[in-house]
Structure 1
């Protein structure tokens, strides 16, 4: 029964595993001997800082793979360690003071690889999951489109079958870190005569192909992590189809399940702990920020700090409870939307409170002399991102009401209409 329950979560509990205590001790020794301390990586001359992050991440992932600490919860047959969540938690604790390739967690490992573990062919698992775990490949996802964001099933990118290949034309947008990826799981339309949810297929496509024009999108915080892609007769082999043709909605829903888990903080496939670093905005809490700006004795500020901390504690407990419920089968897979929703709202509240504590200095602070204040202001500008990644909070609420609480579904007039007959913006 225990093995079946864990298999539903995307991994199998091995019959006999190394104890968590022995594993943690081994990890502690190996990390001290092999991994650089946080903040100690040298700057690569002539390399864009964002690109350096990815070059470093690949190198670090290769070290973890060689040392037997990559893909801790992934099966051994695909390059992982075949261990459990407690093993992963122990490794996260031990690795907190070291450089870790955390950018590879989302979407490469925790979303794309996790989905392929459940839905991919054996060849796809061997190539893409093993490649991602070993650091040889980085995966991303091509889902959203200008006309298909929240209404993902309304996408227009098409794939035409031509013998043993597919020819893809269309556009994707808001693709996280696609510039650094090698392959993407791409949701496309393969049947225009089927209703919109039943004419989709998931196909693995190369990111850097002459038939794909990729451009990066600069955000308000200066980041260029998001990309948009334009496909003009992109040819990919039919063997890159994930699952069954025209059943891409099933595959896509599984991928979104893992995205909600990852964004909500409940994924078994994320490794390392970015918030444990001693540098950067993630290391700053409302309490430490209040001390930095000299407001730690202000009763109103102390109330805000307490409010934020209470929400963090509740969110952590929600993640644990929902994870246990889904693992045991008590909760359906769609309960991952609960973690997604509470995580987004907790993060938004934290950023709101930190901005209120920092005050106007967070807007005008100098990047070099007052980096923490400046980063607090920038994080405030980007606070809504967590409410959009993995689907909007409104979508999460709908998912919880319809798929978890089993309330009546919203009316969808186009549900059974052939997609070519559905009215849409031109």
Structure 2
């Protein structure tokens, strides 16, 4: 494992850092209060346009589609430097991180020429329409159907947990086009206009107070066959491109997420009947455990970065990191709120305890997004440890013969 940049990487990092310092001054500190949605969108669009003009978008994408044609390490270096700021990027994380790479990998050249440049500039927002009420972790069990009529497809069905669908212009949607084929072989993916007739988006109010997730309903929505991604029946293969990028996008620790140092500050400020909570052995043990997990995650991710720096393909680091990160965040936050007792419900805005409260509410979703803990443990068990795979009796069964749970 190598913790140091190569000379070329160090040069690029210095270049990026200088640009960040010159252009992100307004984002160097956390906003005094959370942005309202319209304000958040405006800031995201402005920051994306600024990055585009400076050549810091599509860093690893081919130059032929408007990217920079650089290595994954260049993207990682930019992400690391950008993470020093509070610059808003969430509006484009799905589209640029997952959707557009699928579009230019599997779409027709004219489709890529139409959509990629506008996405890079931030002029159009994208969402990923995969999960359904009865098909979350088992994505191949989706029931949203697409029926061909001439040179168009008619889509009917429902998706759920679609991030920023209510602010998106386009989405990639995977549908079932053959109910008599086995579940992995009867799928096809399309680009859908989120403003098309028959598309209805309903926001989902979360316990954290946010509402970035949505239900999306399709009623006789028409999509041209030219907007199909990949061949008919190869939607699972196309989806794997998207899911690969999704794992990379959600595998790391969220920006500015609280860690062991936050827990230490909170424990120092809580008074118990026997003195400060930080002096209790059980509290110190929990802080030490969180520190070990945080350092383990950092070192595991350094292994992936070292592999990328040498031009190699990382191993299972992202799956391992995500399983540990989500559980560590949830356990640490839960412990802090229990320690605070009643104060864990009524917290001061901007306080460390509020950060931990937000982390607690978000961690449950993180254990689902990008692959549930159970799915990722299966991947690690089967592909890393070489253990026998799960029994999958429906793998070769025609989907029409599978009864929904």
Q: Report the TM range for the smaller structure's normalisation.
A: 0.7 to 0.9
1:331-366 deviation line (CA, Å, top 9, x unaligned): 4xx76433332332333333234334444311133x
Once residues 347 and 376 of structure 1 are traced to their aligned partners in structure 2, the CA distance between those partners, rounded to angstroms, is: 9
Deviation of residue 397 (structure 1)?
Answer: 1.3
Is 1:153 matched up with 2:140?
Answer: yes
Matches within 5 A, 1:119-268: 119-265=106-252
Once residues 34 and 79 of structure 1 are traced to their aligned partners in structure 2, the CA distance between those partners, rounded to angstroms, is: 22
Structure 2's unaligned 5+ residue stretches are 1-5, 271-275
Deviation of residue 170 (structure 1)?
Answer: 0.5
Deviation of residue 304 (structure 1)?
Answer: 1.9
1:72-120 deviation line (CA, Å, top 9, x unaligned): 2323333332223443344344434544232145312222233345434
SS at match of 2:184: helix
1:397-420 deviation line (CA, Å, top 9, x unaligned): 122223333433222222222111
Aligned to 2:323: 341
Deviation of residue 219 (structure 1)?
Answer: 0.8
Q: TM-score, normalised by structure 2?
A: 0.86
Partners of 2:92 and 2:125 within 8 A in 1: no
Is 1:400 matched up with 2:384?
Answer: no
Partners of 1:142 and 1:175 within 8 A in 2: yes
Aligned to 1:7: none
Partners of 2:179 and 2:398 within 8 A in 1: yes
Partners of 1:102 and 1:274 within 8 A in 2: no
SS at match of 1:91: helix
Deviation of residue 192 (structure 1)?
Answer: 1.0
1:296-331 deviation line (CA, Å, top 9, x unaligned): 444432332221111011012222324655862574
Q: TM-score, normalised by structure 1?
A: 0.82
Once residues 42 and 305 of structure 1 are traced to their aligned partners in structure 2, the CA distance between those partners, rounded to angstroms, is: 28
Size of the alignment, in residue pairs? 393
Structure 1's unaligned 5+ residue stretches are 1-16, 267-272
SS at match of 2:256: helix
**Closer, same or farther in 2 for the Cα pair 1:71/1:283, shift >3 Å?**
farther
Moved more, 26-35 or 63-72: 26-35
Aligned to 1:3: none
Once residues 25 and 321 of structure 1 are traced to their aligned partners in structure 2, the CA distance between those partners, rounded to angstroms, is: 23
Is 1:361 matched up with 2:343?
Answer: yes
Is 1:30 matched up with 2:19?
Answer: yes
Once residues 387 and 97 of structure 1 are traced to their aligned partners in structure 2, the CA distance between those partners, rounded to angstroms, is: 25
Partners of 1:195 and 1:415 within 8 A in 2: yes
Partners of 1:214 and 1:229 within 8 A in 2: yes
Partners of 1:363 and 1:374 within 8 A in 2: no
Once residues 225 and 325 of structure 1 are traced to their aligned partners in structure 2, the CA distance between those partners, rounded to angstroms, is: 35
Partners of 1:286 and 1:357 within 8 A in 2: no
**Closer, same or farther in 2 for the Cα pair 1:41/1:383, shift >3 Å?**
closer
Is 1:287 matched up with 2:264?
Answer: yes
Deviation of residue 182 (structure 1)?
Answer: 1.6
Deviation of residue 24 (structure 1)?
Answer: 2.9
The equivalent position to 1:308 in structure 2, one of 282, 290, 293, is 290
The equivalent position to 1:386 in structure 2, one of 346, 354, 366, is 366
Over aligned residues, Cα RMSD in angstroms? Answer: 3.1
